[in-house]
Structure 1
Amino acid sequence: MGTSGMSEEKAYLKPIGRRLIAVREALGFKNREDFALAYGAPRKTFEKYEQGLSELPTKLMLWLRDQYDVNLSWLISGDGEMRPAASRAPAVVNELDDGMVRIKHYNVSAAAGTGLVPVDEHEEQDDIILARSFLRRLGAAPDQSQVIFARGESMLPTIPDGSLLLIDRSKTHLVEGGVFVFRVGEGIKVKRARWRADQRIDLLSDNQLAGYPPETYTRDEIASIVPLGRVMCVMRVP
């Protein structure tokens, strides 16, 4: 097939790319890098999607549908509307004009010990303003980030009692050794995750010498453990 045939074959991707740009802008992402960061892909990969040089993977389309209520029929063919009327408010409402981002601070504690109340059942207490460049260096998606307190000593010395935790709610894929906020039953906990060869999972405390042993969950019990986000930064008073 000649060069012209190949370009004609990919021509249908151009309007899809333009609609993807429209989605990004409607959601409040001012630049491609932040949108790629929220999804978890390199910026150059998203650049190819928006320029119509690569097909959108099914995983990306399902993420747009499930996370932001994007109408996939509209995204693929232009039929219908981008999003239902109830979902049209920009997802990112914390963008400031000077390169700063307003992060929601929730009046709730994640226990470094016994679980406390769930994150999403509380209104924010005070917003915390951070530089977008700082969040970018951490690898945190600004529109999915929030700040909560940590209580207890089970994660010492990594997380002292009373620390503020910056968590990214978009990062729920368990990475070996990463620190995550988990919903466990009626409460939430801050722990490290470790998969075992027997398909069980350990939630680990850093302060094991003080009597905080691993919490082991069987394969049947794993469904009761819900990762709410990864801890990207620990902030505390010296």
Structure 2
Amino acid sequence: MLKDRLKEARKKAKKSQKDVVNAVGITQSALSQLETGAVSSSSHLPAIAKFLNVDSYWLQTGNGSSGDESLSSLLPVEPWDDETPLDDDEVEIPFFKDFSFACGSGSINDFIVNEKRKLRMSKSTLRNLSITKDNAVAATATGDSMSPTIQDGDTIHIDLGRKDIKDGRIFVICLGGLNYAKRLYNLPFGGVRIVSDNSEEYPEINLTAEEKETQQFQVIGWIWQIARIERW
């Protein structure tokens, strides 16, 4: 429980309740309520975690450490830049400002090799989804056709190895020389149904097998993760 993690973290850091109150700005009463379990949440928890040198997510949820683990095994998150060595469970994947090149203006592999921007990704995450490092890329989404699922500026993670349409999944596609993120559905005789989540402004498109050829329809890859940073 939060109260137990909080007391454990404070004692491990050798801090009194008064130390926390003075450092964080929380009232003595509010801190006591957290430590007795009278309340189970507070906007001050991230600041408390930082002061006690423990992970904020662990303090609030308990995830990342078992109940009987020592806090000495919890390490603070360290900042990193391009010069920071990769951890054993990390890989770097290409991060594109957009994915417009995917519609035939050159080889995707050439663009991947030449892209200098990178995102760090857990090997175990990719392994659990059966995504190879060579097929993992990320890009910035543009437009609002898939709103609210994908919003302008979100980061989308794409598996270039999964191109077979599974009904209802979101893919990056090329259509008529332009790229889009869309939900796809199989239609009889090789056709495809292309659906936007913002259906009021972007009606769905149905293509026959022949129309897929004439309109240069191509599946680039499956979008397996959407990341969003909230802005004030």
1:213 to 198, 203, 208: 203
Tell me, what secondary structure is at the counterpart of 1:213? coil
Q: Which residue of 2 aligns with 1:131?
A: 122
Could you state the TM-score of these two structures normalised by the residue count of structure 1? Answer: 0.52
Answer yes or no: is the 8 Å Cα contact 2:103–2:174 preserved in 1: no
1:102 to 92, 103, 106: 92
- Aligned pairs for 1:2-151 (under 5 A) are 98-109=88-99, 120=108, 122=111, 123-151=114-142
Q: Which residue of 2 aligns with 1:196?
A: 187
Q: Which residue of 2 aligns with 1:234?
A: 226
Deviation at 1:199, TM superposition (A): 4.3
2:174 to 183, 188, 208: 183
Deviation at 1:116, TM superposition (A): 7.9
Output the CA distance in 2 between the equivalents of 1:236 and 1:124. Answer: 22
Output the CA distance in 1 between the equivalents of 2:99 and 2:135. Answer: 18
Deviation at 1:147, TM superposition (A): 0.6
Asked if 1:225 corresponds to 2:217, the answer is yes
- Deviating beyond 6 angstroms after TM superposition, the runs of 4 or more aligned structure 1 residues are none
Q: Deviations over 1:64-105 (max 9, x none)?
A: xxxxxxxxxxxxxxxxxxxxxxxxxxxxxxxx5611011111
Q: Which residue of 2 aligns with 1:25?
A: none
Output the CA distance in 2 between the equivalents of 1:117 and 1:164. Answer: 22
Output the CA distance in 2 between the equivalents of 1:139 and 1:233. Answer: 14
Output the CA distance in 1 between the equivalents of 2:151 and 2:187. Answer: 27
Output the CA distance in 2 between the equivalents of 1:138 and 1:160. Answer: 24
Q: 1:138 to 1:236 in 2, by over 3 A?
A: farther
2:154 to 130, 149, 163: 163
Tell me, what secondary structure is at the counterpart of 1:151? coil
Q: 1:153 to 1:131 in 2, by over 3 A?
A: same
Output the CA distance in 2 between the equivalents of 1:198 and 1:109. Answer: 29
Q: 1:144 to 1:199 in 2, by over 3 A?
A: closer
Answer yes or no: is the 8 Å Cα contact 1:108–1:117 preserved in 2: no
Output the CA distance in 1 between the equivalents of 2:104 and 2:154. Answer: 17
Amino acid at match of 1:101: V
Output the CA distance in 2 between the equivalents of 1:138 and 1:125. Answer: 25
Answer yes or no: is the 8 Å Cα contact 2:165–2:186 preserved in 1: no
Answer yes or no: is the 8 Å Cα contact 1:138–1:233 preserved in 2: no
Output the CA distance in 1 between the equivalents of 2:212 and 2:164. Answer: 14
Aligned residues: 139
Output the CA distance in 1 between the equivalents of 2:104 and 2:142. Answer: 12
What's the RMSD between the two structures over aligned residues? Answer: 2.6
Deviation at 1:187, TM superposition (A): 1.5
Counting aligned pairs with the same residue, the percent is 27
Could you state the TM-score of these two structures normalised by the residue count of structure 2? Answer: 0.53
